[in-house]
Amino acid sequence: MTRHPGDRVLAVLIDWLFMCVWFALIAAVALPLFVVGASASLPPVAQNALAALVTVVPITIALAVLESGPRQATPGKRARRLVVQDARTGDALPFRRALLRNALKIAPPWIVGHAAVYAIVGASGAVVGANGAASGTRASVPPGVEALTAVAYVLPAVWLVTLLLGSGRTPYDRIAGAVVARAAPRV
């Protein structure tokens, strides 16, 4: 196995720059809808599901397409000269396994974190009106929200620790049968 923890972290940061463009496009549509109250009628569970549908799902699919494609890498991995490969054969990772890898990497911390945020905001009782003023009464945070919040932080920490220790393969790499390796030199 090859280890490239610094390059992998930098690759993720580069990929996040591309994701921020997607988030900006979503915000350009969602913020006006929020200001006019279009999302106010949605319960928190529906808001969380909608947020996952427009953020987690497209990003997970895009990363899987890129990592299972001919270049076997996201823009960040390409910039750091890394590729995602089948751990046994060194071949390109099939799309299904690349999708599994990225779903495990992105969805759990993201969805759990958003669920915690929605629960905390919902418990605060604060409602922000079109004029930006907050109103409502405070309530206690529901039981279990602290645990959700902790899990949202622990999962990425586990990913990072496993990246830095041992073989450098994260749990999502191992489950998907993948390895991130240095790209072959171009001839």
132 located within any domain: yes
39 located within any domain: yes
187 located within any domain: no
Q: Is the pLDDT of residue 183 over 50?
A: yes
- Domain range for 87 is 5-182
Residue 127: which pLDDT band, with cuts at 50, 70 and 90?
A: low
How many domains does the chain contain in total? 1
| Residue-level pLDDT at 1 | 45
Question: Average pLDDT for residues 72-86, to the nearest whole number?
Answer: 96
Q: From CA 150, how far away is CA 46, in angstroms rounded?
A: 22
Q: Is the pLDDT of residue 138 over 90?
A: no
148 located within any domain: yes
Q: Is the pLDDT of residue 161 over 80?
A: yes
Half-sphere exposure of 30 (CA within 13 A, CB side): 13
Alpha carbon of 4 to those of 100, 134, 136, 163: distances in Å? 21, 47, 50, 8
CB-based contact 178:93 (threshold 8 Å): yes
Residue 21: which pLDDT band, with cuts at 50, 70 and 90?
A: very high
| Residue-level pLDDT at 77 | 97
117 located within any domain: yes
169 located within any domain: yes
pTM of the shown model: 0.82
162 located within any domain: yes
| Residue-level pLDDT at 72 | 96
Q: How many CB atoms lie within 10 A of CB 99?
A: 19
Residue 146: which pLDDT band, with cuts at 50, 70 and 90?
A: confident
Percent of the chain past pLDDT 70, that is, above it, reads 89
Q: Is the pLDDT of residue 10 over 70?
A: yes
123 located within any domain: yes
Residue 110: which pLDDT band, with cuts at 50, 70 and 90?
A: confident
Nearest to 110 by CA among 64, 155, 159, 172: 155
